[in-house]
Amino acid sequence: MNRTQLVSTIRQKKTYLCVGLDTDITKIPIHLLSEPDPVFSFNKAIIDATKDHCVAYKINTAFYESRGLKGWESMERTVRYIPDTHFRIADAKRGDIGNTSAQYAKTFFEILPFDAVTVAPYMGEDSVRPFLEYPDKWTIVLALTSNTGSKDFQQLGMAEGDCLYERVLETTASWGSTKNLMFVVGATKTTELEHIRTIIPDHFLLVPGVGAQGGSLKEVSASGMNKDCGLLINASRAIIFADDTEKFAKKAAAVAAAYSAEMAAYLH
């Protein structure tokens, strides 16, 4: 999905919600555990129920890998089930030397039909480039994350006066364009968001941390939105685990719809 299509979908549906499929098998409703692939059955129900209220899904690969082969089967089924009208993100946080990153890019862009993959910047340009070489695919680079550990390195001051995350934004932005590069900025970092918009006014941001992690949708939207919206705001646990009974999908839809109704009011 290219930028024009993404922006047009956001305008049409009046939402910039991304539903995070962090599907922990120990947290899904008990009645699903007798299904042949409980995680896929759960995701399928969540996707069916929420697809009108979101523009993107984000699959957190860790929750699938931790079930071994069965988990990868659930992930494959899930990403193939997401309609191609939706932006499909592999939240994988990969990154390695060039020939290895090329293999990861192949995994998520050729073997699996993801539109985007999250990438860690620590190893520099040749670790990010292979992802950028795919037309109409997106690389989402970690900039300022939502967790407490973001202070350990990301927010440290550099010799030239800026912080590491600012340097990551500036340098990485020069490797791609606003059409193939996004950045992860945590929803708990609203103070920094306005400043980040002075560095990268036009890029899309993937913003996790609304919901279970406590970020404010209102504040993120006020500080981070640009003329093309420029935001994909992710909520995972707050939507998919809103209820653990047979009504889980209905409840997930209601929570997603509530987020989207709020987003519609912020879109201009």
- DSSP conformational letter for 111: I
Q: Quick one: 25 or 254, whose CB is closer to its own copies?
A: 25
For residue 232, what are its two tokens?
């994909």
Which amino acid appears at position 65 of this protein?
E
In angstroms, give the least distance from the CB of 186 to its own copies. Answer: 9
CA count, 13 A, side-chain hemisphere, 206? 31
In angstroms, give the least distance from the CB of 64 to its own copies. Answer: 9
Partner residues linked to 59 by β-bridges: 21, 90
Q: Which of 93, 106, 189, 218 is catalytic?
A: 93
For the question of residue 93 being annotated catalytic, the response is yes
In angstroms, give the least distance from the CB of 167 to its own copies. Answer: 7
Separation CA 109–CA 89 (nearest Å): 10
Name the residues that contact its own copies, by CB under 8 A: 22, 24, 60, 62-63, 65-69, 72-73, 76, 91, 93-98, 100-101, 103-104, 106-107, 111-112, 120-128, 142, 145-154, 156-161, 164, 167-168, 171, 213
Any idea what the Cα angle at residue 161 is, between residues 155 and 167, rounded to 5°? 55
In angstroms, give the least distance from the CB of 234 to its own copies. Answer: 12
Separation CA 152–CA 37 (nearest Å): 39
SS3 249: helix
List Cα–Cα distances, 42 to 39, 63, 210, 233, in angstroms.
5, 13, 22, 22
Question: Which positions are catalytic?
Answer: 93
